């Protein structure tokens, strides 16, 4: 759906308005995952969780009607093509196994589980067979030969890093707010919403001015804003509130808005119209896979970073440590003053200190994850050196040809 929609927009809009079409697409792709928690939170708090799924039924019916009525194939798509059924099957098997492995790996303790090991073997085997299949037939479902275009190859690789940073940070924020601060799903969504609106507003402006923007300039600026936002979020403490997230999330939204439209347009700039579906498909696929990897890695590292931070903090909370004993005594006196006996007060004081220790360790773990998301995007910037031009498709010097 994503690749077909994006290639259709490339073909439907005249060259001078390609940026507007991609901005419309980008609002859905980039802002959707951020607005989702807001709408989902409202539904969960006011209806029930099954309605998160039911709400898609009328939207799907409406979308199907609109596509059937208004979307038509381009001339180069109307010739009869042989359907690569084997390639589609291998692609579904490869991507499905990989997604399942990434999403369930942490729950089953990764490769200690036979189930995850089977998924990994299936992923690798189907991937190898898919590559062999697509390179040996005339009409493959994935035309890997288009990756010989270095600008497309660099762009789809950056798309994977973008997906990692976007979905990794989207995963971390709700867990941080709900797990540490006790926010409801609806409250979490309202905190995230301003950043989503900032991203949508930025994409609208960037899309309107795509002809004057160069991805080799806007993408580094956007990535720097995203890194700045992640750095600010990494400074949050156990006592930070919603107000402390407002401006970092605005900066994150603006940064993503500066990245998506120029990067997409420049990635597809050198493709023939008949190759657009393949190019957009690869771009969306790598972004989605990067996002799945970002979520899986973030979930795994959250537990590991928390355990590491807890171990480091626990070294300073040992029997005989003056500061630790003073803290325990202070909590004990507070509990005793409320009528609790000495033995119970000591037990409860130790439990309170333990919860505080766990909370601080979790905060430190989130801090490292925020920085990881920002660094992932920054590390992809050298790929821009492979771009011959940073102009969007149809907006460069060769647009008239």
Q: pLDDT per residue over 187-224, tens digit each?
A: 887 888 888 889 888 988 888 887 788 889 999 999 99
Assess if residue 188 is contained within a domain.
Answer: yes
Who's near 310: CB < 8 A, 6+ residues apart? Answer: 357, 358, 361
Q: CB of 179 within 8 A of CB of 318? A: no
CB 11 within 8 A of CB 199: no
Write down the pLDDT at residue 397: 39
Is residue 240 a part of any domain in this protein? yes
Q: How large is the angle between the packed helices 150-181 and 215-234, nearest 10 degrees? A: 20
The CA distance from 172 to 82, in Å, is 43
pLDDT reported for residue 77: 54
The arithmetic mean of pLDDT across residues 21-43, rounded, is: 72
Whether residue 128 is found in the same domain as residue 171: no
Q: What is the mean pLDDT of the chain?
A: 82
Give the number of C-alpha atoms closer than 13 A to the C-alpha of residue 158, restricted to the C-beta side: 30
Does residue 135 sit in the same domain as residue 182?
no
> Would the pLDDT of 161 be above 90?
yes
Tell me the DSSP string of 347-396: HHHHHHHHHHHHHHHHHHHHHHHHHHHHHHHHHTGGGGGG-S--SPTT-S
Q: Return the minimum-mean-pLDDT range out of 49-63, 82-96, 164-178, 325-339.
A: 325-339
Task: Assign 333 a pLDDT band (cuts: 50, 70, 90).
Answer: confident
Q: Within this chain, do residues 126 and 175 fall inside the same structural domain, yes or no?
A: no
Distance between CA 98 and CA 126 in Å, rounded?
10
Q: Which CATH number do you get for residue 391?
A: 1.20.1250.20
Q: Are residues 277 and 330 in the same domain?
A: yes
Q: Are 238 and 262 part of one and the same domain?
A: yes
- pLDDT 10s digits, 84-129: 788 889 988 998 888 888 777 777 877 888 888 999 999 999 999 9
25 with 123, same domain: the answer is no
Report the C-alpha gap between 299 and 303 in whole angstroms. 7
In whole angstroms, what is the distance from residue 19 CA to residue 211 CA? 8
Q: Which residue shows structure tokens 């060259």?
A: 15
Query: If pLDDT is split at 50, 70 and 90, which confidence band does 398 have?
Result: very low
Same domain? For 334 and 310 the reply is yes
Residue 351 has a pLDDT of: 83
Task: Say what the pTM is.
Answer: 0.81
Residue 18 has what pLDDT?
A: 67
Which pLDDT does position 87 carry in this prediction? 86
Q: Which helix (H) or strand (E) holds 101?
A: helix 85-104
In the chain the first and final C-alpha atoms are separated, in Å, by 30
Q: What distances in angstroms separate CA 68 from CA 12, 64, 72, one per listed residue?
A: 15, 6, 8
Structure tokens at 113: 């589980």
Question: What band does 315 get if pLDDT is binned at 50, 70 and 90?
Answer: confident
Number of structural domains in the chain: 2
Do 98 and 47 belong together in one domain? no
Q: For residue 102, how far is the Cα from the chain centroid? A: 14
- The segment with the largest mean pLDDT, out of 47-51, 297-301, 379-383, 385-389, is 379-383
360 torsion bin: left (phi>0), alpha (psi -120 to 50), beta (else):
alpha
Q: What is the C-alpha separation between 104 and 102, in angstroms, rounded?
A: 6
Whole-number pLDDT of residue 76: 53
| pLDDT class of 258 with cuts at 50, 70, 90 | very high
What's the average model confidence in pLDDT over 8-28?
70
> Do residues 181 and 279 share a domain?
yes
Evaluate if residue 3 carries a pLDDT over 80: no
* Tokens 């601080």, residue located: 360
Domain check: are 126 and 268 in the same one? no
Asked if 341 and 320 sit in the same domain, the reply is yes
Is residue 37 pLDDT above 50, yes or no? yes
Confidence of residue 160 (pLDDT cuts 50, 70, 90): very high
Of the listed ranges 89-93, 336-340, 373-377, the one predicted with least confidence: 336-340
| Local structure of 341: helix, strand or coil | coil
Mean pLDDT of all residues in 374-379: 94
Which residues, including other chains, have CB under 8 Å from residue 62's CB and lie 6 or more apart? none
- Per-residue pLDDT, averaged over 248-275, amounts to 88
* 145 is a domain residue: no
* CA–CA dist 214, 392 (Å, integer): 8
* 195 and 160 in a common domain: yes
Looking at 19-23, 101-105, 176-180, 390-394, which range is the least confident one? Answer: 390-394
335 part of a folded domain: yes
Q: Residue 23 — pLDDT band, cuts 50, 70, 90?
A: confident
Residue 332 within a domain: yes
pLDDT tens readout for residues 289-310: 898 888 888 888 888 898 888 8
**Residue 146 resides in a domain:** no
Q: Label residue 317 by pLDDT band (50, 70, 90).
A: low
Q: How many CB atoms within 10 Å of residue 81?
A: 8
Instruction: Provide CB contacts within 8 A for 110, sequence distance 6+.
Output: 116, 300
Domain hosting 129: range is 84-140
At 401, the pLDDT band (50, 70, 90 cuts) reads: very low
In a domain, 147, yes or no: no
CB-based contacts of 124-130 (< 8 A; 24+ apart in sequence) = 126/90, 126/93, 126/94, 126/97, 127/94, 129/90, 130/87, 130/90, 130/91, 130/94
Residue 203 within a domain: yes
For residue 306, give the nearest of 376, 265, 356, 366 by alpha carbon: 366
């Amino acid at each position: 759906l994503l690749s077909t929609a994006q290639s259709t927009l490339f073909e439907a809009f005249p060259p001078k308005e390609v940026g507007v079409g991609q901005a419309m697409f980008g609002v859905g792709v980039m802002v959707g995952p951020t607005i989702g928690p807001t709408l989902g939170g409202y539904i969960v708090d006011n209806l029930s969780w099954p309605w998160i799924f039911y709400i898609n039924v009328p939207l799907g019916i409406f979308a199907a009607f609109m596509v059937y009525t208004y979307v038509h194939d381009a001339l180069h798509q109307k010739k009869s093509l042989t359907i690569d059924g084997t390639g589609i099957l291998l692609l579904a098997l490869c991507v499905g196994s990989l997604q399942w492995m990434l999403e369930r790996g942490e729950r089953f303790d990764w490769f200690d589980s036979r189930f995850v090991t089977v998924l990994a073997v299936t992923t690798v085997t189907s991937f190898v067979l898919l590559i062999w299949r697509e390179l040996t037939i005339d009409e493959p479902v994935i035309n890997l030969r288009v990756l010989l275009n270095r600008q497309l190859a660099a762009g789809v690789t950056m798309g994977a890093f973008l997906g990692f940073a976007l979905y990794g940070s989207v995963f971390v924020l709700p867990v941080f707010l709900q797990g540490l601060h006790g926010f409801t799903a609806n409250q979490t969504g309202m905190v995230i919403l301003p950043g989503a609106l900032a991203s949508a507003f930025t994409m609208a402006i960037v899309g309107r001015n795509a002809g004057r923007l160069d991805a080799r300039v806007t993408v580094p600026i956007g990535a720097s804003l995203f890194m700045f936002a992640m750095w600010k979020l990494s400074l949050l403490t156990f006592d930070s509130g919603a107000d402390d997230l407002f401006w970092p999330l605005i900066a994150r939204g603006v940064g993503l808005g500066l990245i998506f439209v120029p990067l997409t347009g420049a990635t597809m700039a050198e493709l023939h119209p008949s190759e657009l579906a393949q190019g957009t498909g690869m771009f969306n696929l790598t972004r989605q896979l990067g996002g799945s990897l970002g979520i899986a890695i973030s979930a795994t590292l959250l537990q590991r970073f928390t355990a590491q931070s807890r171990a480091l903090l626990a070294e300073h909370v040992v029997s005989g440590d003056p500061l630790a004993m003073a803290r325990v005594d202070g909590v004990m006196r507070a509990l005793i003053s409320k009528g609790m006996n000495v033995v119970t007060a000591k037990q409860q004081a130790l439990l309170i200190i333990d919860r505080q220790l766990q909370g601080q360790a979790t905060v430190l773990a989130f801090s490292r994850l925020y920085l990881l998301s920002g660094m992932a995007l920054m590390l992809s910037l050298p790929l821009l050196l492979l771009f011959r031009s940073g102009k969007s498709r149809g907006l460069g010097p060769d647009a008239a040809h």
